[in-house]
Chain A
Amino acid sequence: MGTQYASAVAVVRTMENSLFTQSDLERLINARDRKESETLINSKNAGTLPEVWEMLRTFAPDSKELEIILYRNDFHNLKAVLKAMVSGREPDSYIIQPSNIKNDTLKEAFRTKDMDVLPDYIRETATQAYELITTTLDGQLMDSLIDTACMKAMQESAEKSGNDFMRKYVNLITVCADIKTAYRCSKMNKNRDFLEISICGSPELDKESIIRATLGGTENLLSFLGNTIYAELSGLLKENPAEFEKRCDDMLIELAETSRLQAFGIEPLISYYIAKEAEIKNIRIISVCRECGADKVTITERLRKLYV
């Protein structure tokens, strides 16, 4: 058994102590004003995601698994740059960090029409998306194309890495994305051509089956999902889509928790990143809900599961 990343795992274990706990979030919900909220957040010494990423990358510069968790940001940035280019705007304010591909590299690729500067996993998609948006100006179709390509790239890289944790991580993300897309498409009566582009498919939820179920209507889709291992998600989707989103995020945290027993390996590092994402999402939920005047019960219901 390997002993890789012993030092990084120890750092991460120490840093887990400064993640927000349930009582920290309750204090944040009960804060009197924005200033008190800011003081609470600053007192936890909560680093930003790019800072956390930099730290993880320093410890595991050669890890391919770590790269995979940023694919979604890379593909989002691809959409942002293409849309900004078509609408004649600067993409900088739509770019998400951290990402594997530098903002300037993405812009340069489209400015010079040279996609070779992009990594393998995104190159072909960038070419296809560029052709699609410049010929059809259909932003929705381009979004679907890029989102599906992102999932496929993640699946391929996870498979190549041979890491079971990464396979489960990617599978979970793909399943949640496919269910959400299929549900929306069934509501909007989208045709097979659109579904072929928008649904990725995974070992547990095969692409063709989801497409057939979606074409049969929303009730048919929910009934199909009800007979899979994701029946719980299907039920939540029917009752309350917000609960569905929360459950998807909670399932990711539950997966991250499986690496809490590991003293070595890349998994604890990835789990810490997932935990940090969930923490930031929770802080955002509290801030937005408070701005909107939501009551404490509603805010608490919407909070994602905590890693600590």
Chain B
Amino acid sequence: MNSMGLALAILGASISALLAGIGSAKGVGLVGEAAAGVVSVDPDKFSKVLVLQLLPGTQGLYGLLTAILMLSRIGVIGGNAVELSTAQGLMFLGASLPIAIVGLFSGIAQGRSAAAGVGITARKPEHNGKAIIMAAMVETYAILALLVSILLIYNIAI
């Protein structure tokens, strides 16, 4: 049995969850810092800034979804791992990269954008929606990356 292929595919699943998760953690953490600042002065704005804080959290979920789909496709979830050649393993590893890398950077970028949006909510709470829309724009690229990763995972012949 060629275990290298399977190892590479599992590495791909890990990387997608890991890097996208780091991006989200950094983004959510940054917005959390800004949000805590606002709430310390005006606790009534908690719900408004919470929405902004949640936005960069999606990249981590996309990474997790990709990892689960990949582990399911190669049979690791379910206990019937398929035999993969090294080339197939590398393909799965490659499939994980879009969401892993885009997830990492878009999570951080969305965090910055949402943290700036917290400033809008602090000064002009009635324009909170605009802050959410601006931060949500970054999400587009994480979704595109997720789509590519999923397409790749389901189109690798095993």
Contact = CB atoms under 8 A, between A and B. Distances in A.
Interface stretch (B11-19, B80-88, B95-103, B113-121): B113-121
Interface string A3-16: 10011111101111
A235 B42 CA distance: 45
B87 to A, nearest CB: 40
B54 interface: no
Contacts of B41: 11, 14-15
Interface residues of B, number: 19
B30 interface: yes
B38 interface: yes
Given A9-B34, A10-B35, A3 B40 contact: no
Given A3-B30, A3-B112, A6-B30, A11 B37 contact: yes
Interface residues on A, range: 10 to 19
Given A11-B38, A14-B41, A15-B41, A263 B112 contact: yes
B115 A6 contact: yes
A264 interface: yes
Interface in A14-28: 14-17
Contact of B34 (A7, A15, A17): A7
Contacts of A59: 37
A10 B30 contact: no
A15 B41 CA distance: 7
Those 8 A-B pairs whose CB atoms lie nearest each other, nearest first: A10-B37, A263-B116, A7-B37, A13-B122, A11-B37, A10-B34, A14-B41, A14-B122
28 contacts: A3-B115, A6-B30, A6-B37, A7-B33, A7-B34, A7-B36, A8-B37, A9-B34, A9-B37, A9-B119, A10-B34, A10-B35, A10-B38, A10-B118, A10-B119, A10-B122, A11-B37, A11-B40, A13-B38, A13-B119, A13-B122, A14-B37, A14-B123, A16-B123, A17-B123, A59-B37, A263-B34, A263-B112
Interface of B: 30, 33-38, 40-42, 45, 111-112, 115-116, 118-119, 122-123
